[in-house]
Amino acid sequence: MTKMVRARIKPELLIWARQSLHLQIAEAAKKIGVPEGCLLKWEQGERAPTIRQLRTAARVYKRPMAVFYLPEPPSDFDALRDFRRLPDTISREPSPALTMAIRAAHQQREDALALYDLLDLSPPTLPAIRKRGIPAEALAENAREILGVDLATQFGWRDRYKALSAWTTALEQAGILVFQAGGVRIEEMRAFSMGARPLPVITANAQDSPRGRVFSIVHEFGHILKDATGLCDLHEDPSDASAEQGMETFCNGFAAALLVPTAALLSEKQVISTKTPEAWSDDVIWELSVKYSVSREVILRRLLTLQRTSQRFYERKRREFLHIYKRFRDQKQQGFVPYYRRIISKLGKAYVRLTLEAYHRETITSADLSDLLGVRLKHIPDIENEVVPRPG
């Protein structure tokens, strides 16, 4: 009988990898496919995993196998230190899903930078907004110029998924990597950003609505332009006077102004004809939300900011819309989305195209390509056809 080869690794590396994901022993053992007692023996140094078991554990812990052969655990990214959290979640640990999403975004950015280096190319440079103290409305005007999106083009995006795709493409062309994360509760994260340049990152929650994601990624664009890193759910607390809450309020105003510019909204016939602050009908709010490809709450926010409605009306309608949104979200049946499209949505077209270019220039192997995209090679043709359409 062939003897199984055991991995000669230090137990503390296994403990570090599990705890960095905030996984309990029982949960980690189930994911790896071994009894709880077996994993406990690995971590106590009483027994070592086989090479095959270590490979499975590395995949579960989202770590390269090589990290388990280090002499000691490396210093790790601390989500609680480096990201702001909501007022009611400050004392909580980030979930394993959120921790993995943050780690994946870090790794994918590092991979993209390495690919640019291998290709002897310079990453796109996001223009800097150097003026300090710029109001949200003025920053929104500058940001729209950076993205190169005019209103006529935006008004053509009546389909919510088309709008999400178009804003994502505009951000990518401006030099930002845009990812999507699944499995993270919306109550914990709507989106987060990493402002490091080049190649800052925005990650949106794939469980959010398309229009919700549009607002989230533009909100995070505001954080990046302000040279701030963020993790937020777009929540505003009027009783919170902290600098962090002030930044959230600013970025909410920035996103709303970019998506629904003041001059454009005030020139709408429905806005001109509605004189009473609380006379806004649901039909009018819906028509405007469809035209600008935003949620009804964003339209309400803009009307309130521009003093065309009252705080009382805004709060009442906002509660109604949130209740409707939650009901539909709970009842929503996920339609079929081809696997290759889910991968592209997760990684972003800019990142996918970069990996494919590196492969076709023979700077990475097919195995590298498979690893970077996290798919089997049989899926590559479908992915490539989607992001690089063939002539004719």
Tens of pLDDT along 148-175?
999 999 999 989 999 999 999 999 999 9
Contacts of 321 (CB under 8 A, 6+ apart): 295, 296, 297, 300
Mean pLDDT of the chain: 85
Domains in the chain: ranges and CATH:
11-76 (1.10.260.40), 82-113+124-259 (no CATH)
CA angle 226, 228, 230 (to 5 degrees): 125
**Block residue for tokens 């949505």:** 345
Residue 241, pLDDT above cutoff 60: no
Where does the pLDDT of residue 371 fall: very low under 50, low under 70, confident under 90, or very high at 90 and above?
A: confident
Task: Convert the pLDDT of each residue in 302-329 to its tens digit.
Answer: 999 999 999 999 999 988 888 877 766 6
At residue 52, the pLDDT reads: 82
At residue 87, the pLDDT reads: 41
| 3-class secondary-structure state, position 6 | strand
Q: Cβ atoms within 10 A of the Cβ of 381, count?
A: 10
Alpha helices in the chain (DSSP H): 11-19, 25-32, 36-44, 51-61, 79-82, 96-118, 136-147, 151-154, 160-173, 210-225, 243-259, 262-266, 269-273, 282-292, 296-305, 311-331, 339-347, 349-360, 366-373, 380-387
Query: What are 6's strand-pairing partners?
Result: 50
Residue 44, pLDDT above cutoff 80: yes
Residue 355 near residue 372 (C-beta atoms within 8 A): yes
- Give the amino acid at 314: Y
- Give the amino acid at 213: R
What is the spatial distance between Cα 350 and Cα 344, in angstroms, rounded to a whole number? 9
Please state the rounded mean pLDDT for residues 347-363: 95
Q: Listing from the earlier edge strand, what are the strands of the sheet with 201-205?
A: 177-181, 201-205, 191-194, 230-232
Q: Which residue, among 182, 264, 178, has the nearest Cα to 221 in the 3D structure?
A: 178
* pTM, rounded to two decimals: 0.79
Residue 167 near residue 156 (C-beta atoms within 8 A): no
At residue 70, the pLDDT reads: 79
The better pLDDT of the pair 135, 237 is held by 135
In which region does residue 194 sit, left (phi positive, over 0), alpha (psi from -120 to 50) or beta (all else)? beta
Alpha helices in 127-242 (DSSP H): 136-147, 151-154, 160-173, 210-225
Task: Convert the pLDDT of each residue in 322-353 to its tens digit.
Answer: 887 776 665 554 567 899 999 999 999 999 99
Within its chain, how far is the Cα of 378 from the centroid? Answer: 27
Contacts of 24 (CB under 8 A, 6+ apart): none
At residue 236, the pLDDT reads: 53
What is the spatial distance between Cα 182 and Cα 346, in angstroms, rounded to a whole number? 8
At residue 86, the pLDDT reads: 39
Please state the rounded mean pLDDT for residues 247-270: 94
Where does the pLDDT of residue 234 fall: very low under 50, low under 70, confident under 90, or very high at 90 and above?
A: low
Residue 1, pLDDT above cutoff 50: no
The better pLDDT of the pair 163, 243 is held by 163
At residue 89, the pLDDT reads: 44
Task: Convert the pLDDT of each residue in 45-71 to its tens digit.
Answer: 999 998 889 888 988 888 877 778 778
CA angle 109, 98, 202 (to 5 degrees): 40
Helix (H) or strand (E) holding 175: none
Residue 170 near residue 146 (C-beta atoms within 8 A): no
Highest mean pLDDT: which range of 90-94, 106-110, 117-121: 117-121
Task: Convert the pLDDT of each residue in 272-304 to its tens digit.
Answer: 998 888 889 999 999 999 999 999 999 999 999
Residue 91, pLDDT above cutoff 50: no
Please state the rounded mean pLDDT for residues 188-196: 88
What is the spatial distance between Cα 37 and Cα 33, in angstroms, rounded to a whole number? 12
